[in-house]
Amino acid sequence: MPAELGIIVLAFNEVDSLEETIFQIQAWLHEIDYEIVISTSQHATIECQDMAKNLAQKYNKVSCYFQMKPFVAAAVLEVAQNSEAKFLVYMSADGETPAEAIPRMLKMQRLSDADVVSTSRWIKGGSFTNYGGVKYLTSLLAQQLCRLVYQSRLTEFTYGFRLYRSEILKNYNYREERHPFFLETLLVPLRLGYKIIEIPVKWVPRVEGETVVTLPTLVSYLRPLIFTRIQNKKRLNSKH
């Protein structure tokens, strides 16, 4: 019987933090029917690949998937297409997406019947630790811009840690391949009228590995921000 919840853990250059992430997920979800897929790549570090394989062998509810196409969108969407879980969460293996929020997201979905439950660092109960003044201001301005363009009361658009009804990740035409995909996968359901609820989350910085997000990557977030807003809704629904 398919699991209620599928967790996609994105791993590229994490080793110890990947192991800790998998441990924490299982510790927080002991009363939930779940499956974990570590989504990695042949281009990931060898140490990361080896850890992913070892964890899949060690735990019954953990499997390892090597993406076929490049970039982060494929790491999420290929797993989503193969999953039979009712709900899907994608998160990172670097410690910046805390596992304790997963059962809270599922609880909120059950209470509200939301289509997407998104974590937010900006609402009451959320916070940042050692985020940096410039980065904080840049993120704040980005959230405000998204709110303005989409006339939305949501507070968090760029933090890629959410729970979805699985069909939202399976059935829509996502165009972004790299990190702007995390923004696009909120904007598409928002534009199409899905019910989106936020819960607070406490953000802490990674302790291992290096971020692959650069300044040009941040600028490229403008592409889905504008395109998804002006695109015909029928085109957003199309898989082709």
| Structural domain spans, the chain | 5-237
| CATH number assigned to the domain with residue range 5-237, chosen from the 4 options 1.10.533.10, 3.40.50.2020, 3.90.550.10, 3.50.50.60 | 3.90.550.10
- Percent helix, strand, coil in the chain, to 5, is 45, 20, 40
Query: Which of these, 181, 172, 163, lies nearest to 116 by C-alpha position?
Result: 163
The SS3 assignment for 90 reads strand
Give the Å distances, CA to CA, from 14 to 51, 80, 112, 205. Answer: 9, 22, 35, 13
What digits encode the pLDDT tens for the residues 32-60?
999 999 999 999 999 999 999 999 999 99
What digits encode the pLDDT tens for the residues 159-183?
999 999 999 999 998 999 999 999 9
Report the predicted TM-score, pTM, of the whole model to 2 decimal places.
Answer: 0.94
What digits encode the pLDDT tens for the residues 130-156?
787 788 888 899 999 999 999 999 999
